[in-house]
Amino acid sequence: MTTEDELKKVIADADDAINREDFGRLMELYADDATLVVMPGRTVQGKEQIRSAMARIAEFFNHTLEVSQREMLVLEGGDTALVIARTVVNANQNTDSPYFAERKATYVFRRFPDGRWRCVIDNSYGTELLSQQR
Amino acid sequence: MTTEDELKKVIADADDAINREDFGRLMELYADDATLVVMPGRTVQGKEQIRSAMARIAEFFNHTLEVSQREMLVLEGGDTALVIARTVVNANQNTDSPYFAERKATYVFRRFPDGRWRCVIDNSYGTELLSQQR
């Protein structure tokens, strides 16, 4: 498998784990000290915090969250990969106002000594974080 | 120094080296197998290739290139950092049509065993690479 195929598989596994709320499996795909951007201005670090943030997000969307990726682009250097992805977030929230968002995400992965890629920085907001800061 | 201050210093040093065309000093700030996005759809890897790409870019702008960063935002996880920066590229090109571009860049750095941060992925086009791909 190429690096790109390996990373696409890890990300597809992560999306599937999020959509099924299988947070145990999801946490295997993150490094111990990974960072997640929960929303612009709010980051959490470490598996325990990422896991509870994911659980709160699932709750917020009334357990109807569905994440997926459209195109993905992989840049690799120094056992590190930057994945740029068009991420789609859907949730019907069991209400009359379904939620839909498409974002250009930036995910950073590192290849660990065991050969596996794990996410070290999960920022689905990509460079939008800058505009928010202004 | 915080990670953010360390990385801002490395990036300021890199900008200064680019603007002075001091490519020897510039290359000290990259990992051996770093990747540079020269333009959308074109990447080069390794110091030798990055160095010649930088020299060609300097030539292209008639040695009037000036790069700098406005806001920067640093996300860190697993000895890896994603820097999101508003990058400004100026060049007068010694012509009547000066060049100006502002981009939202994504730079990935790794902290090496010697304690120094080195750039592993230099992508000044950020998530724009996706739009270009469509």
Give the Cβ contact number of residue A41 at 10 Å.
10
Beta strands in chain B (DSSP E): 30-39, 42-45, 66-77, 80-91, 99-111, 117-123
Residues of B in contact with A134 (CB under 8 A): 71
Q: How far is A92 from chain B (nearest CA, A)?
A: 27
The amino acid at B48: E
Q: Tell me which residue in A32, A108, A126 faces B108 most closely, judged by beta carbons.
A: A108
Chain B touched by A3 (CB under 8 Å): no
Distances (CA, A) of B78 to A34, A126, B64: 6, 19, 38
What mean pLDDT is predicted for residues A9-33?
98
pLDDT digits (tens, 9 = 90+) for A77-101: 989 999 999 999 999 876 677 889 9
C-alpha count within 13 angstroms, C-beta hemisphere, residue A93: 11
What pLDDT sits at residue A134? 45
Nearest to B27 by CA among B14, B9, B45: B14
What pLDDT sits at residue A78? 87
Distances (CA, A) of A105 to A11, A18, A67, A88, B20: 12, 16, 12, 10, 34
Q: Are B74 and B3 in contact (CB under 8 A)?
A: yes
Site from B84, B119, B122, B128 to mutate, A interface, most A CB atoms within 10 angstroms = B84
Chain A touched by B130 (CB under 8 Å): yes
Chain B touched by A88 (CB under 8 Å): no
pTM score over 0.90: yes
Please state, in angstroms and rounded to a whole number, the distance separating the CA atoms of residues A75 and A108: 10
Chain B touched by A33 (CB under 8 Å): yes
pLDDT at position B134 over 50 = no
Please state, in angstroms and rounded to a whole number, the distance separating the CA atoms of residues A116 and A118: 6
**Percent of chain B with pLDDT strictly greater than 90:** 90
The two tokens of residue A54 are: 């994911």
Q: Are B49 and B79 in contact (CB under 8 A)?
A: no
What pLDDT sits at residue A101? 93
What pLDDT sits at residue B98? 86
What pLDDT sits at residue A56? 96
Q: Do A130 and B71 touch (CB under 8 A)?
A: yes
First to last CA, chain A: 42
pLDDT digits (tens, 9 = 90+) for B43-96: 999 999 999 999 999 999 999 999 999 999 999 998 999 999 999 999 987 667
Site from A75, A103, A123, A131 to mutate, B interface, most B CB atoms within 10 angstroms = A75
Q: Do B126 and A127 touch (CB under 8 A)?
A: yes
Q: Do B121 and A82 touch (CB under 8 A)?
A: yes
Please state, in angstroms and rounded to a whole number, the distance separating the CA atoms of residues A40 and A61: 18
Q: What is the CA radius of gyration of chain B?
A: 14
Going by pLDDT thresholds of 50, 70 and 90, the confidence category of residue A18 is: very high
First to last CA, chain B: 42
Residues of A in contact with B129 (CB under 8 A): 73, 84
ipTM: 0.93
Distances (CA, A) of A60 to A53, A82, A84, B19, B62: 10, 29, 26, 48, 54
Q: Tell me which residue in B31, B78, B108 faces A31 most closely, judged by beta carbons.
A: B78
What mean pLDDT is predicted for residues A13-33?
98
What mean pLDDT is predicted for residues A92-115?
90
What pLDDT sits at residue A132? 58
Chain A touched by B31 (CB under 8 Å): yes
